Structure 1
Amino acid sequence: MSNMDLRQIRQFVAVAEELHFGRAAERLNMTQPPLSQAIQALERELGLRLFDRTKREVKLTPVGEQWFVHARRVLAEATALPDIARKLARGEMGLLRLSFVSTVDYSLLPAAVGRFRAAYPNVELSLREATSDVQIDALLRSEVDVGIVIAPPSSSLSQTLSYRPILREPLIAAVPSSWIDEGRDGFCEGILEPAAFFAAPLILFPRRSAPIFHDLVSGYFAEHRSAFSVFQEAIQMQTIIGLVGSGMGVALVPQSMTRLQRDGVTYLPLSGRVPTVETGLLWRTNDRNAACANFLAVANASVHQPAQAL
């Protein structure tokens, strides 16, 4: 079995399809005696008969009939190998492992994934939600191919990882709807004054999970000379919104999060200048995965309003 090659399988399939050594030999551009000898050698190698031969006809044995199905499949797969290699090189087949922060569930991710699947249906796409710090570690360990992250600190990039900003959007306040219904001081429909926001319990990501985002929020407090204190931490944006809905406190969230409608939560713009959060693509600089390059292009083209493409 170790000496069997595609030439032998091709010869067997030709005879099995034609059930005539002369026609099969003509199809293979060879003479009949060498083909007969090749089939006999194959049968000796397998230790069984594939054909029953008489002067009038050639028939597949029961084993030959069953093996024919497998041989033809192997031959078809082997024939497709060169095209598969070319498609892999172009990123039209293969595996792409994508990680993303929870904030892009309501902005970039649906459009980017939808367009990528439509353009490259033969690429297997593996999705993994993770905070930015976890994604950086996973990229460095080659566990994912591309990440969608909140802008990482420059110290985490170096020559190993490349970063491309693609989305920037203002932060808005997520507040308990009950506070508005109760007429709580400073909370009403419309535009929220920063002073009322700063006085409320704050819910925020841990700094290790999204240091740039965390520093945006703390910087916003510092800009207004307000004491910065985090009342409750959570690592997923959906969890933060849920805690706001329970009346636990307030949060600053990207504007696109208004697409997440949750009972008990009202989104309010803040008056005055507000910080903007940047989201971008992160990948290994020397990664030769063509599917990764294709996704980067598709994601860049998928940025939509209300966020602003850079």
Structure 2
Amino acid sequence: MAEIRHLRYFVAVAEELHFGRAAARLHVSQSPLSQQIIHLESELGVALLRRTKRRVELTPAGEVYLKEARRVLTAHARAEEAARRAARGEAGRLVLGFAGSAAYGVLPALLKAARERLPGLGVELRGEMLSSELVRALEEDEVHLAILLRTSTENPDLAVSVVYREPFVVALPADHRLARMRLVDLGDLSGEPFILFPRRRGAVLHDAVINACHEAGFGPTVAQEATELPTQVSLVASGMGVALVPASMRSLRYEGVVYRSLRGRPRAPDTAVAWRRESENPVVRSFLGVVRDFAGDAPNPPDGASSV
């Protein structure tokens, strides 16, 4: 069976039509090169070259074989490069889970950065998931990385890196008494009906909202619970209540809803990237390089938030 080196030797001779020039091009001696071509022809059972004392010519079989040999060598070069890129984590498939809150801030910017830096990497998205579900997905190897809300209880088998910090803003009905204010005191929302996550489904954001209200001197009156941030904002639009949401939610426009900054900028939960510490997957390492660059180079997030 012909080997890749035999194809390279034949292509060089066929293109040069001179064994001496082909040998110099290949950095081999002329005699072994001639022997390899004879061996190739013997294996194929056909003459590829017509040799005379004065010239070398391709036979009709040699012309066809040259075309196919070039095609094989091109495919082989592509395969070699693809394997090297995969080993460097520049190609392959990454399964990325994400919390719903990340869809309006970190996720779009991070995916754009990944496409620019790693165009050969395919990203399969799994979302929108709760942070607790993402931790379980990482533990069971269902996702390679996860963008989630950082909690105080970290799994020791997981590495976690904060990539984005932002404050809460308040989503108000457009006709609310505080809608005309550019900056709202959280304490002024005491007694207002609140829309927030049910704790059983979104403990991180639920607890963060409750704690922010307590620090402002009141406990929120819960009018309605909703498990998705867009649903909360739509309920605000209906006039059902107000909601504290991460500042990146400003990008979600709803008719009848205005977002206002809060005095003191109470902080929303940090957005982090998590992965298994022992992971040796090249695409994980490569994507983490994009994460580090994103965290270091991203412009200031809206409303005074900061990326780290």
Relative to the length of structure 1, the TM-score reads 0.76
Out of 220, 224, 230, which is 1:231 matched to?
A: 224
- The range that moved more, 167-176 or 32-41, is 32-41
The residue number in structure 2 matching 1:63 is 64
The residue number in structure 2 matching 1:149 is 148
The residue number in structure 1 matching 2:244 is 252
Q: Does 1:21 align with 2:19?
A: yes
Aligned length: 293
The residue number in structure 2 matching 1:301 is 296
Counterpart of 1:124 in 2: which secondary structure? strand
The residue number in structure 2 matching 1:126 is 123
Counterpart of 2:270 in 1: which secondary structure? strand
Q: 2 CA distance for matches of 1:68 and 1:36? A: 18
The one-letter amino acid paired with 1:287 is S
Deviation at 1:295, TM superposition (A): 2.1
Out of 161, 171, 174, which is 1:174 matched to?
A: 171
Q: 2 CA distance for matches of 1:90 and 1:57? A: 43
CA 1:274–1:25: 2 relative to 1, 3 Å = closer
Q: Does 1:276 align with 2:268?
A: yes
Residues 174 and 267 in structure 1, CA contact (< 8 A), matched pair in contact too? yes
Q: 1 CA distance for matches of 2:189 and 2:101? A: 25
Task: Encode CA deviations 1:267-304: one digit per residue, 9 max, x unaligned.
Answer: 13456784532222212212233303312311321442
Q: 1 CA distance for matches of 2:76 and 2:124? A: 34
Counterpart of 2:274 in 1: which secondary structure? strand
Out of 253, 257, 261, which is 1:261 matched to?
A: 253
The one-letter amino acid paired with 1:17 is E
Counterpart of 1:100 in 2: which secondary structure? strand
Q: Which runs of 5+ in 1 are unaligned?
A: 181-185
CA 1:121–1:23: 2 relative to 1, 3 Å = same
Counterpart of 2:167 in 1: which secondary structure? strand
Q: Does 1:8 align with 2:6?
A: yes
Q: 2 CA distance for matches of 1:77 and 1:293? A: 26
Task: Encode CA deviations 1:97-146: one digit per residue, 9 max, x unaligned.
Answer: 4433333344334444444444x244515162432233323322334333
Relative to the length of structure 2, the TM-score reads 0.77
Task: Encode CA deviations 1:130-178: one digit per residue, 9 max, x unaligned.
Answer: 3223332332233433322111341x421x111122333222221222x
Residues 223 and 240 in structure 2, CA contact (< 8 A), matched pair in contact too? no
The residue number in structure 2 matching 1:189 is 180
The residue number in structure 2 matching 1:200 is 193
Q: Which runs of 5+ in 2 are unaligned?
A: none
CA 1:298–1:70: 2 relative to 1, 3 Å = same
CA 1:13–1:63: 2 relative to 1, 3 Å = same
Counterpart of 2:74 in 1: which secondary structure? helix
Q: 1 CA distance for matches of 2:64 and 2:47? A: 7
The residue number in structure 1 matching 2:138 is 139
Q: 2 CA distance for matches of 1:89 and 1:21? A: 38
The residue number in structure 1 matching 2:158 is 161
Q: 2 CA distance for matches of 1:198 and 1:273? A: 20
Counterpart of 1:24 in 2: which secondary structure? helix
- The range that moved more, 208-217 or 224-233, is 224-233
Q: 1 CA distance for matches of 2:143 and 2:121? A: 13
Identity %: 31
The one-letter amino acid paired with 1:24 is A
Deviation at 1:216, TM superposition (A): 1.4
Residues 165 and 281 in structure 1, CA contact (< 8 A), matched pair in contact too? yes
The residue number in structure 2 matching 1:183 is none
